[in-house]
Amino acid sequence: MALIDPELLSILACPRCRAAVRPVDSERSLLCAECGAAYLVNDAGVPIMTVDDD
């Protein structure tokens, strides 16, 4: 069973550059196809896609 719901994955976008993201590391994180930003996925399958305002 996939950790991240495929329907959710199809609509997610990187909050930095708005590009598509793809699962990596056995779906424990998401990687942006454009800027390379990585986002963790918690044990419930929820991506943590926050960015710092630095």
Segment 8-16 mean pLDDT: 94
Segment 36-45 mean pLDDT: 92
54 pLDDT exceeds 70? no
Please give the model's pTM, rounded to 2 decimal places.
0.83
How long is the chain? 54
State the total domains in the chain: 1
| Separation CA 33–CA 54 (nearest Å) | 22
Residue range of the domain that includes 34:
1-54
Query: What is the pLDDT at residue 5?
Result: 84
| Separation CA 15–CA 2 (nearest Å) | 23
Are 51 and 16 in contact, with CB atoms under 8 Å apart?
yes
From the CA atom positions of the chain, what is the Rg in Å?
A: 10
